[in-house]
Amino acid sequence: MSALYDRVALIGLGLIAGSMALAMRRGGLAGEIVGTARSAETRGVAVEIGLCDRVVETAAEAVMDADLVVLAVPVGAMTAVAEEIGPKLKPGATVTDVGSVKRHVIGAVAPFVPDGVHFIPGHPLAGTEHSGPRSGFAELFENRWCLLIPDADTDPGALQRLRALWEAMGANVETMDADHHDLVLAVTSHAPHLIAYTMVGVADDMRRVTDQEVIKYSAAGFRDFTRIAASDPTMWRDVFLTNKDATLEILGRFTEELFALQRAIRTGDGAHLFEYFTHTRDIRRGIIEAGQDTDAPNFGRGAVKE
Ligand code: NAP
């Protein structure tokens, strides 16, 4: 495929930007990839493993003459980066981001994007619990969703080009409104992460009592929680601080349901528990029937102890 952008600037060189660099290289999607990261250490690793064509010291330097600028830093760092690059952006360029929260990022970045530069926020729904410049891989976005957040003024040509880039990196692209995105992600990702963090914290307290048993007998359910709870602390702190309302809304509902289940257990209301679990099992079946997940036991990862 011929290059979709002559020069792409990656600001931040972690899991997401690193995977983008590798996917773009694999597909020949960018004429040149210029990258930068906050620390000399990360920039050094990027040079060592040949992640980009060029690694530069500052974001302002990286965006010079770039046709596409990708902000791939934690959500809480977006304002400072946008302020730094704003005056250096090339007229006609597109700025996008990969942040996990959208309304906050729009408020943080849009004021620094000059007229004549297109700002199209984005969010690939793909990731792992690993971070840093060595964690990326070209296949990360394959068959995963990437949500783009245009508004009424978005240039259709710029949107189409960005969509084509994500599709060429293997993603399925949908457009969505920022507030809707933040609510959907609060349900599907943000609240579940908080629940996993909490469960691992509770188990850690228990471990002091039960002498390593929690880890020793750790089976599917808890093991999956520990994987999620190993996710990057900076990224997730920023997600909760910037998607506060939607996350609190979902956690409020979660707490109500939890209390109802707690009461059913206390009062021995087996019918309630059975009905609830039957309903949730139906939801899982619906996901499989829609072809959105595998029916293989333990997601095809082999047998578990229980
Ligand atoms: P990552 O692997 O931790 O990489 C983050 C990059 O941002 C690093 O290069 C880091 O530089 C740089 N950075 C950190 N703090 C900074 C600051 N204050 N100013 C400037 N640069 C800073 O993170 P990631 O997983 O790629 O996540 C990047 C973005 O993608 C985040 O907004 C996140 O919400 C979003 N996202 C993540 C996932 C996921 O599952 N990981 C999925 C979808 C979207 P140093 O290494 O030099 O510190």
Q: Please give the distance, rounded to the nearest whole angstrom, from the Cα atom of residue 117 to the centre of ligand 1.
A: 23
Longest CA–CA separation in the chain, Å = 67
Domain boundaries, the chain: 5-176, 180-268
Q: How far is the CA of 253 from the centre of ligand 1 (A)?
A: 30
Best residue among 22, 34, 36, 38 to mutate for probing ligand 1's pocket (most ligand atoms within 8 Å of CB) is 38
pLDDT at 240 > cutoff 90: yes
Q: Tell which CATH architecture fits domain 5-176.
A: 3-Layer(aba) Sandwich (3.40)
pLDDT tens for each residue of 76-110 = 999 999 999 999 999 999 999 999 999 999 999 99
Average pLDDT for the chain: 93
Identify the CATH number of the domain defined by range 180-268: 1.10.3660.10
CA–CA dist 191, 272 (Å, integer) = 24
Say if CB 102 and CB 175 are below 8 A apart: no
Which of 78-92, 170-184, 248-262, 287-301 has the lowest average pLDDT? 287-301
> pLDDT for 145-177, tens place per residue?
999 999 999 999 999 999 999 999 999 999 999
Give residue 154 CA to ligand 1 midpoint distance, Å.
26
Q: Are 10 and 36 in contact, with CB atoms under 8 Å apart? A: yes
**Centre of ligand 1 from the C-alpha of residue 12, in Å:** 6
Query: Cα(72) to centroid of ligand 1, in Å?
Result: 6
What is the position in ligand 1's atom list of the atom closest to the CA of 40?
Answer: 47
Are 5-176 and 180-268 the same fold in CATH? no
Residues within a 6 A CB radius of ligand 1: 12-17, 37-39, 42, 72-75, 77, 81, 98-100, 123-124, 127, 131-132, 232, 235
Q: Is the pTM of this model over 0.95?
A: no
- What pLDDT is stored for residue 204 in this prediction? 81
pLDDT score of 304: 45
